[in-house]
């Protein structure tokens, strides 16, 4: 199972990234869990200074932009 974490305070870009991540995981047909990390201190523990950010299994894959579902699908297999 992949743990997908969306790092951000809940802004529109964070919501768009969440939707894209969910779409990518569904298209990939994998088991996944999405967690929203909204606390600034928690986000900083990932070393992220700009949101939204996406982490998969605790590893930050992208920060500061909304990745497309196709890009996220590639990240899920890395």
Specify the CATH number for the domain of residue 20: 3.40.30.10
Residue 38 pLDDT: 96
Is 11 an annotated catalytic residue? Answer: yes
User: Which residue in the list 14, 17, 55, 66 is annotated as catalytic?
Assistant: 14
User: Which residue in the list 3, 10, 11, 68 is annotated as catalytic?
Assistant: 11
Residue 78 pLDDT: 84
pTM: 0.94
Can you list the residues of the chain whose pLDDT is less than 50?
Answer: none
CA 25-6-78 angle, to 5 degrees, is 50
Residue 64 pLDDT: 97
Which residues constitute the domain of residue 30? 2-76
44: three-class secondary structure by DSSP: helix
CA distance 26 to 43: 25
Which pLDDT tens digit goes with each residue over 27-43? 999 999 999 999 999 99
Number of domains present in the structure of the chain: 1
Q: Residue 56 pairs with which residues in a beta bridge?
A: 4, 59
R_g of the chain computed on alpha carbons: 11
């Amino acid at each position: 199972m992949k743990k997908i974490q969306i790092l951000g305070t809940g802004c529109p870009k964070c919501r768009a990234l969440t939707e894209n991540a969910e779409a990518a995981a569904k298209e990939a047909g994998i088991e996944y869990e999405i967690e929203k990390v909204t606390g600034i201190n928690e986000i900083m523990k990932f070393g992220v200074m700009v949101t939204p950010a996406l982490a998969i299994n605790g590893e930050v894959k992208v920060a500061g932009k909304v990745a497309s579902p196709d890009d996220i699908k590639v990240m899920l297999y890395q």
